Amino acid sequence: MEYENLLDDPSADPFEIARHAAERIAELTGAERHDIALTLGSGWGSAADLLGETTHSIPAYEVPGFSKPALEGHVGTLRSILLPDGRRALVIGARTHYYEGHGVRRVVHSVRTAAATGASVMILTNGAGGIKEHWSPGTPVLISDHINLTADSPLEGATFVDLTDLYSSRLRGVARSIDPGLDDGVYVQFRGPHYETPAEVQMAKAIGGHICGMSTALEAIAARQSGMEILGMSLITNLAAGIQQTPLSHEEVIEAGRAAEARISRLLADIVHAL
C-alpha cells in the first residue's frame, strides 16, 4: 500500500521520519543544525522577516512527512533564518491542526522535525480566544500552562513524560525582560474546528483556563518529549464566546491578527534575539 503521507503508515516510526525530514532540511539549507524553532500561528507571520536573513525557503511538502496546508493563510513553508548572532532559526509556517483529522502524528511532526534538526528551544505561537474580560483583541499573552481537552496525546504506548514547567519559566522571564507588561494564562486546547459554546467557555474558566485555542497543547507535549525548552505565546484575537457579547467570526479573527501583526512580530523577534 502506498501512503500519500509517510506518517499515515501505522507501522512507520514517526521519529525516524522526523530524522529524515531533518536530514532533508540540512541538505536543502546547507545548515548542519538549527538552534531554535518557531511555529508562527495566526497574526505572528511577519516575525519571520524581523528575525534575520532568510537564506532558504522550502515548500513543506518537499520534506518527508509534511503535507499541503488545509487553510488559506497558513502558508506551508519552512524557512531557515540566519540570526544576527550566527544562530539559525527554523520557522515553521506549516502547522497541521488536530481538527484536520489526519491524526496526532501529523500534528506534531513539525515539532519532532525541529528537535531532530538540533533545536533546543521551541517557540509555539497561535491566535486564540481570551477568557479574561480585560484582554482586548490584539493582546499578546504568555502561556503559563495548558489543559488538553482533545482527549488525545502525541505519545504512544507507555511513554510517561513529566509536564511540570512545560512552558519554561526561564523563557517567560526572557519574554518579560523585553515586555514587562506581558500577562499570562492557562491555554485550553479544544478539538475545534467549531468555536466553543458560551457554556464550554465557562467550563474552561471554572477549571482554571484563560485562553481557548485549537493547537498548541499537543505540540508542546511532543516538544517536551523531545527535550526542548518551550515558549508559548497566544495572540488574543477575540474574547471567547459569551465573554464577548457578539458572535465570533473567522474574518474578524483574521482582521484582529492583521492589525496586531507588526507590533507582536517585533516583540517576538526581540524575544528571540534576547534568548
Residues identified as active-site = 196
Q: Say if residues 127 and 234 touch (Cβ distance below 8 Å).
A: yes
| Helices (H) then strands (E): counts for the chain | 8, 9
Residue 137 binds to ligand 8IG (criterion: CB under 6 A) = no
Residue with Cβ nearer ligand 8IG (52 or 127): 127
* Burial degree of 214 (CB within 10 A; 0-12, 13-18, 19+): buried
Residue among 52, 64, 93, 129 that touches ligand 8IG (CB under 6 A): 129
* Shortest distance (Å) from residue 198 CB to ligand 8IG: 11
| Binding-site string for ligand 8IG from residue 32 to residue 61, where x marks contact by CB under 6 A and - marks none | ----------x-------------------
Residue 125 binds to ligand 8IG (criterion: CB under 6 A) = no
| Binding-site string for ligand 8IG from residue 5 to residue 24, where x marks contact by CB under 6 A and - marks none | --------------------
Cβ atoms within 10 A of the Cβ of 70, count? 15
Residue 127 binds to ligand 8IG (criterion: CB under 6 A) = yes
Residue with Cβ nearer ligand 8IG (31 or 253): 253
Residue with Cβ nearer ligand 8IG (65 or 129): 129
Residue 238 binds to ligand 8IG (criterion: CB under 6 A) = yes
The C-alpha cell at 199 is 457554556
| Binding-site string for ligand 8IG from residue 190 to residue 229, where x marks contact by CB under 6 A and - marks none | x-x--xx---------------xxx---------------
Query: CA 135, 70, 75: angle at the middle one, nearest 5?
Result: 70
Helix (H) or strand (E) segment spanning residue 161 = none
Q: What is the DSSP letter of 241?
A: B
> Any long-range contacts for 172-177 (C-beta under 8 Å, 24+ apart)?
172/142, 172/144, 172/231, 174/231, 174/271, 174/274, 174/275, 175/142, 175/231, 175/233, 175/271, 176/142, 177/274
Q: Which residues bind ligand 8IG (CB under 6 A)?
A: 42, 127-129, 190, 192, 195-196, 212-214, 237-238, 240, 248, 253
